[in-house]
A and B are shown apart, each in its own frame.
Chain A
């Protein structure tokens, strides 16, 4: 509800106008019924004055006209406001994802995030565009009408409320804790199904290759049928009460007619008032039904907006909004601790200094924390203890934009967008011209293989770069990072898929490109990093040793072993 309020407030003028027009529409509708009642009473009284009927008919038409026009404009205004708000909510969520620690984002499956950003935000449309103006208007309308009925005959007016009250109770009995639980369950079952679908469809290649059809398909089909059965059973559970509520509530004549006859027979009510009240009770039917529909929506809103709110209120990286200037691009890590899960330290009290404009390498067995260390420098997570400084400025004091402009981080698997190679490289610097893109590709030793693709630089790479090989994807990612021209470059196993010959060429190219920059390489094949300025050997989240290749061969047993294994592997 908070969320709805917040976004309605942002556009309060529009929503207010929309509510007022909706009320005008409902009132015009009530007047058309009042004129209708006048006509019927006139007919029963035997009134033969044609002018009276004519003017009443004209009034009815006029009222219909006013009703449709104001309801239409009201709805138009509220929809424009709503779709703008939904756009804003989606934008706010994507902004938020940028500010959240990467781990918190990754812990949600992409199916779940997609469900929240697409479907759940979508389902707020009804609440914002319809509920706000129409719920209000359809509450005001019947209340005004009821006052009019009270004037005509207060006893019948009060009695006509009995079906409404009983019906509402039946309806309310559905909207209990169980409903909330069921609704939440429906959301999670829906998400589970979405996840299964996303996994099944996106994994179809692997599934086919490994003949996993039966297993994966079963998970998929179970999730699909669970979803359908759940909704059907939930419907069955509430159907009786909902049907009573929906059908009894608007049936004012259930009491009006019997008691009307009673009061007429004992002479305390005249026929014209009775007829008028009956006709007016029909005028409230549509309003009451609409209000009931929206009550259903109301009880859902908190669950829907809850998911969205959870994301919008999730913890953010601690970074400030300040754009400090760094003093050079040296990197200093002091006493840093970090863990993904509580009590499981991945980085344990690491101290290290990387000199500006130097080339360093992190090596270590898998799971040693070398890659985590690189991600911490890139600011993807906040560290638990200690400080990371770039050019003497704590990275947590920098804005994310500033930090991101300082560092080019290339990982093993970089996402390529489903657009041309040219545009994928241009992500590194959106102002780059085609010539600059081509220039950087040449310098990064990518030009030749790109020219061999069907459309050269205009080749569309497919979703996630699916039309390219892993090595090709990595080479484009490196060109992209080079185009960014950030003073610090981190290559996190960024060349691991590239075949050895091309890897050597790539690395030669990179070394040329990053001259005068601070470069950190995390490499699997140690052979490729022997000539860097300083190598840090990481083991169990600690710096085991550091030095040049030659120094380490002498003083680090672990390094020596790893190096020999690597050389053997390449023979």
Chain B
């Protein structure tokens, strides 16, 4: 998975700035997301201390609203940057291909059939521009949320935190195995499409 992100990172060229911004916004998003659990924590503390009253209603609501608004703002920043990165990264690659074939000797086209080039510039890059932003939103968002969750659990109770880390490690082992199995199949699919 790290390899995939490295690839996207190298692939993204001038769009790296957008991805960086998106990751920072994504981290803040995860922090705001975790904030809603503080509201539950606060509620339980108030109830157990028998100090729950009308004031605690408003405090809990204020915490939840802060979490929500924070999430909306950071989501917007993060996703807009990802979208820009995804679509413009594909656009830049198309331009690169266009520039390249202006300059290459004609012999190039007997090695790289025109059909194959067309497929890359249309289908393959269309998939890249649609999937890369989504991939970043889902995977990066998930990782950042997990990271914040693990850090907070470690702060509350290091034992629970360690269990959470074990869970995360198992998850990564399983996904990397899945990735290994999928790759050859995807290569095959890519080949079929170019016929």
Contacts and interface: CB of A to CB of B under 8 A. Distances in A.
Contacts of A462: 110, 113
Given A190-B126, A228-B90, A204 B46 contact: no
Contacts of A240: 72, 76
Interface string A216-241: 01001100110110011001100110
Given A253-B39, A257-B40, A265-B54, A235 B98 contact: no
Given A232-B87, A239-B79, A264 B118 contact: no
Interface stretch (A25-33, A55-63, A192-200, A370-378): A192-200
Contacts of B36: 251, 253
Contacts of B14: none
Nearest to A223: B94
Nearest to B78: A243
Nearest to B70: A247
A118 interface: yes
A509 interface: no
Given A228-B129, A231-B83, A248 B88 contact: no
B16 interface: no
Contact of A257 (B43, B72, B123): B43
B100 to A, nearest CB: 11
Given A194-B122, A251-B36, A463-B114, A265 B80 contact: no
B101 interface: yes
B4 interface: no
B68 A248 contact: yes
A265 B46 CA distance: 11
Interface string B73-113: 00110011001100110110011001001100010011001
Interface in A39-56: 44
B68 A197 contact: no
A224 B94 contact: yes
A504 interface: no
Nearest to A247: B71
B150 interface: no
A260 interface: yes
Nearest to A214: B102
A264 B76 CA distance: 36
B52 A264 contact: yes
A118 B193 contact: yes
A258 interface: yes
B76 A119 contact: no
A265 B76 contact: no
Residue from the set B54, B71, B117, B122 with the largest chain A CB neighbour count within 10 Å: B122
Contacts of A468: none
A214 B166 CA distance: 58
A374 to B, nearest CB: 30
A262 interface: yes
B60 interface: yes
A311 B122 CA distance: 21
Counting chain B residues whose Cβ lies within 8 A of the other chain, the interface size class is 35 or more
A320 B56 CA distance: 79
Counting chain A residues whose Cβ lies within 8 A of the other chain, the interface size class is 35 or more
B134 to A, nearest CB: 10
Given A251-B36, A257-B43, A261-B56, A204 B101 contact: yes
B61 interface: yes
Interface in A175-191: 190
Contact of B75 (A224, A225, A247): A247
Contact of B87 (A119, A228, A248, A271): A228
Given A243-B75, A251-B36, A463-B113, A200 B98 contact: yes
A424 B42 CA distance: 77
A24 interface: no
A10 B110 CA distance: 44
A264 B47 contact: yes
Contacts of A461: none
Contact of A197 (B56, B87, B94, B129): B94
A118 B124 CA distance: 11
A235 B81 CA distance: 11
B115 interface: yes
B127 to A, nearest CB: 9
A486 interface: no
Given A111-B122, A239-B79, 14 more contacts: A119-B122, A224-B95, A225-B91, A228-B90, A228-B91, A235-B83, A239-B76, A248-B68, A257-B39, A257-B64, A258-B60, A259-B57, A260-B43, A261-B43
Interface of A: 44, 111, 114-115, 118-119, 190, 193-194, 197-198, 200-202, 204-205, 208, 213, 217, 220-221, 224-225, 227-228, 231-232, 235-236, 239-240, 243-244, 246-248, 251, 253-254, 257-262, 264-265, 271, 278, 418, 462-463, 467
14 contacts: A119-B123, A197-B122, A198-B118, A198-B122, A201-B117, A221-B95, A227-B91, A228-B90, A232-B83, A235-B79, A243-B76, A253-B40, A257-B60, A463-B113
